[in-house]
Structure 1
């Protein structure tokens, strides 16, 4: 069952309530597997929603999704009967909801829980997690009111925290303890506080793709997170964290060695970003896979002329030759390098090419180097000849591994036509 009232349909809410009531009154099914609700958060609607949720629970519902539109700051308090739904497998609650948990939670079948734009205190968080013994995935997006997440269940595999709303005041912190968790993702804009990882010893993948207001003030935060994540085999780092590391590089701050084997960097590999990449390579002596997701920069910063691709620039051979002795351990294990171009001819930047040429020549066990522009946005023109010039330079460059393959991928609509130019 899916009921939806558009954002501009608030004046018709009485007819909407009558309609939903009539549908449920005529329902003869023994089981209602899914109950999806998307409507404005109105006072009269709230009491009706309590009644509709009770109907779904009495019909052994397995999936519930509640999305309430913002309207005059109304807050919907979830009914206590929802916390005793033993058949619930998936729950998503978005906008204008308050988790006032007074008694025990019995979500013995719940595997997926998504809470967005909601209020939830520490006591409520403890009750929910302790009452969800088979929970596998937990997402908390733009939530507020709690300062500690303790996941002790062995079944919980992934925790996603997106744009956390820190409590106002000095020293606000969100502590995370999950000894059996496999995947942790910290995302979005999370200004006003800090993350602290207390126990995450079982993690096999971590993503640090959040941002805060000031880069200069958070060197200790990023460095502290990396220390707690030093054992993680797969690590994803976003642009804000890389900016913090760039500042640490400028200040010659030591970065602890990581055991990471698969590294994904979501940033622009420009003149400021390349030294950070070198610093990270220095700290990942066991690295096997390097993936760079390049972001688009203003056109004035991009190189649109393929002739300039091979020209030596500030971060060319001299820079990488000076850094070689610091990252030689990484070069002994690196097998796969991939650059995902966001468009706007980003691959024509000399710093990027200098990095690729250095790895191609010095990574002794490199098996594959991929240049991928297939995911460029339709509005961003992809110059196939510029990409082909990049590939030509790399193919003709000396290689440390005799078996390495250089692969170029770009959109089919960008393929050079034989009628335009012969290769």
Structure 2
């Protein structure tokens, strides 16, 4: 708008609205088609440059060689020159007459225009670079002559080689080497590397990591894809980098044979790596201020013991157990949040010392392939709940709920839980899951907030049916009325219930609907039931009738609490919720 108004005099509100309409349309076309910030910046700059070149050929007295063909000539064009051609694509009826009031072509417009991009402080420019890959940051040099050399002082290095990239491995290596050679930054805040790791790249990666470490790097991420040979062995110099704050490595060999000195490391993520207890102990003891640790699809470690008072969150995702009898022991007396996720088959978890935990998530999956293992897996979940009895927020996945549902009657009582916020993920309609939910309700007498995430179809992780373990199947309101006496204490504090719906029809709602009707009729202090639909299927995106029917049923159902509300949140025709 400001650029257009400098070139086109505004005589009234109508002209201002027309300029605003055109500016919105021009900007909006590129924004709507952009897939990323760097793509948007590149495309709109290219379009502005093309328009300026075309305008030069139509302006009178324009010099024949005003624009060269080399990238050096294109990079010297100022931003106000790129903007100057906007008026050339205005509607003809508006362009006629407006152009007559433009200054003569022989007048230097640069005297009255301002190159805002070139006037940006270096700190702002470098902050913009932090959101881009290094390759895209270099491309921005076309925007301004000043930006041509600014990228060399970029402290955020991000090298990525996409899977289907046309760039050859040797060309990619040459590119990275040339960037690091021209780098003038005294300190490197970030070094991100994501590429297929073959022999050609492996020998160079050591050199690139050493460059980053020598420049006091704070964040390092190494993601190696499609590794067909032996694992990439991290250089020893990395374990002595005292400036590291955030580290993530994927598909690397993490054997540690020397002392680890990560005195400022706060977050550590290790994916698809081979570990051992000795190396893990060295890493944890050498990271005195570590706050977050994530191990994803790692194997070899059997004991995680952290005594640091700074340690706050531990994530174990798809742990790979080794050996016939394998166990992962966790001991962290100051840990606040624990998450056990993914497919973790062939072993079990044991919590030794987790007395400070306030939040826990049990959303892992172990295959049950024989009847003799049913009790063992149920005892595993029950044992974890016993060690987590003091947490105030508990998340349980579908597999854990199904494992509890297969417990025999004599083992059905769970330890007393102090949980106030309970999140249950999975298929509420799976055989036996209502019984597992009732067991949890019975043990949770202080529950205030309940969150349920449902699915259309039951999880097939457990293929055993109810008859195979001698368990009776209950369904619907009959079941909840039957267990009412067992879960009455839980209903005394419940105030907030939220359902995340992934079902598509009313039939899929039946198991959940019976529970909601029971809670509405028996929860003494219930404030609201929220139905939050997150169905992502485009064919069902504008069909809220099943949810509306559920809401209608609940609104007409008797309620124990006079202030209880039923709220339906559903994206409908562009609106966030209704």
Q: TM-score, normalised by structure 2?
A: 0.66
Deviations 1:110-158 (A, max 9, x none): 1111110011111110111111111111110001111001111111111
Distance 1:59 1:337 in 2: 52
SS of residue in 1 equivalent to 2:455: coil
Q: Is the 8 A contact 1:233 1:260 kept in 2?
A: yes
Larger mean CA deviation between 111-120 and 249-258 belongs to 249-258
Q: Check if 1:183 corresponds to 2:341.
A: no
Q: Which residue of 1 aligns with 2:174?
A: 18
Partner of 1:226: 385
Distance in 1 (CA, whole Å) between partners of 2:386 and 2:171 is 57
**In the TM superposition, what whole-angstrom CA distance separates every residue of 1:3-42 from its partner, at most 9, and x where no partner exists?**
1223356992222222211211111111111111112222
**2:537 is aligned with 1:393:** no
* 2:311 corresponds to 1:156: yes
Counterpart of 1:88? 244
Q: How far is 1:381 from its partner?
A: 1.7
Cα displacement (A) at 1:354 = 1.4
Aligned partner of 2:230 in structure 1 is 74
3-state SS of 2:489 partner: helix
Distance 1:209 1:267 in 2: 10
1:51-62 residue pairs with structure 2 within 5 A? 51-62=207-218
| Cα distance in 2 between the residues matched to 1:368 and 1:314 | 27
Corresponding residue for residue 125 of structure 1: 280
The 1:413–1:11 alpha-carbon spacing in structure 2 relative to 1, beyond 3 Å, is closer
Query: Cα 1:346–1:145, aligned 2, differ >3 Å: closer, same or farther?
Result: farther
- State the SS of the aligned residue for 1:287: coil
In the alignment, what sits opposite 2:91?
none
Q: 2:500 aligns with which of 314, 335, 340?
A: 340
> SS in structure 2 opposite 1:185?
strand
Q: Structure 1 residues 271 and 99, CA, compared in 2 at 3 Å: closer, same or farther? A: closer
Moved more, 169-178 or 14-23: 14-23
SS of structure 1 residue aligned to 2:483: helix
C-alpha separation in 1, matches of 2:264 and 2:331:
23
Q: How far off its partner does 1:406 sit?
A: 1.0
Match of 1:353 in 2: 513
Distance 2:294 2:508 in 1: 38
**1:380 Cα shift?**
5.7
Pick from 178, 193, 196 the counterpart of residue 37 of structure 1. Answer: 193
Contact 2:412 2:439 in 1 (8 A): no
Structure with a larger share of its residues in helix? 2
CA contact (8 A) 1:348 1:386 kept: no
* Alignment-derived partner of residue 270 in structure 1: 429
1:99-118 correspondence runs (5 A): 99-118=254-273
Alpha-carbon distance in structure 1 between the residues aligned to 2:238 and 2:424: 41
The answer on whether the counterparts of 2:330 and 2:351 sit within 8 Å (CA) in structure 1 is: yes
Contact 2:382–2:414 (8 Å) recurs in 1: yes
- Look up the SS of the partner of 2:272 in the other structure: strand
Structure-1 residue corresponding to 2:203: 47
Aligned pair in 2 of structure 1 residues 387, 249: CA closer, same or farther (>3 Å)? farther
Residues 456 and 508, structure 2, Cα contact 8 Å, conserved in 1: no
1:195 equivalent in structure 2: 349
Please name the residue that 1:239 is paired with: 398
CA distance in 1, matches of 2:233, 2:508: 54
The alignment status of 1:147 with 2:306, answered yes or no, reads: no
Is 1:330 the counterpart of 2:490? The answer is yes
Counterpart CA distance in 2 for 1:178 and 1:157 is: 9
Distance between the aligned counterparts of 2:500 and 2:410, measured in 1? 29
In the alignment, is the contact (CA less than 8 A) between 1:343 and 1:377 conserved in 2?
no
| Cα distance in 1 for residues equivalent to 2:255 and 2:166 | 26
For 2:359, the equivalent position in structure 1 comes to 205
Q: Distance in 2 between matches of 1:17 and 1:284?
A: 58
Classify the secondary structure of the residue corresponding to 2:551: helix
Bigger radius of gyration among the two: 2
Q: Distance in 2 between matches of 1:26 and 1:349?
A: 61
Deviates more, 1:242-251 or 1:329-338: 242-251
How far does residue 45 in structure 1 lie from its aligned partner after superposition? Answer: 2.0
Q: Tell me: CA distance 1:113–1:76, structure 2 relative to 1, closer, same or farther (3 Å).
A: same
1:266 offset after TM fit, Å? 0.3
Query: Offset of 1:318 from its aligned partner?
Result: 2.8
| Structure with larger RCO (C-alpha < 8 A, sep 6+) | 1
Q: Which moved more, 1:236-245 or 1:397-406?
A: 397-406
CA contact (8 A) 1:61 1:88 kept: yes
SS of corresponding position for 1:321: helix
Question: Are the equivalent residues in 2 in contact too, given 1:35–1:61 (CA < 8 A)?
Answer: yes
**Does 249-258 or 22-31 show the bigger shift?**
249-258
- Alignment pair present for 1:371 and 2:525: no
1:303 alignment partner in structure 2: none
Question: Which one has a larger percent strand, Structure 1 or Structure 2?
Answer: 1
Structure 2: gaps of 5 or more residues: 1-156, 459-472
Distance 1:347 1:60, change over 3 A: farther
C-alpha spacing 1:271/1:414, structure 2 compared with 1 (3 Å): farther
SS state at 1:3 partner: strand
> Displacement of 1:342 after TM fit?
1.1
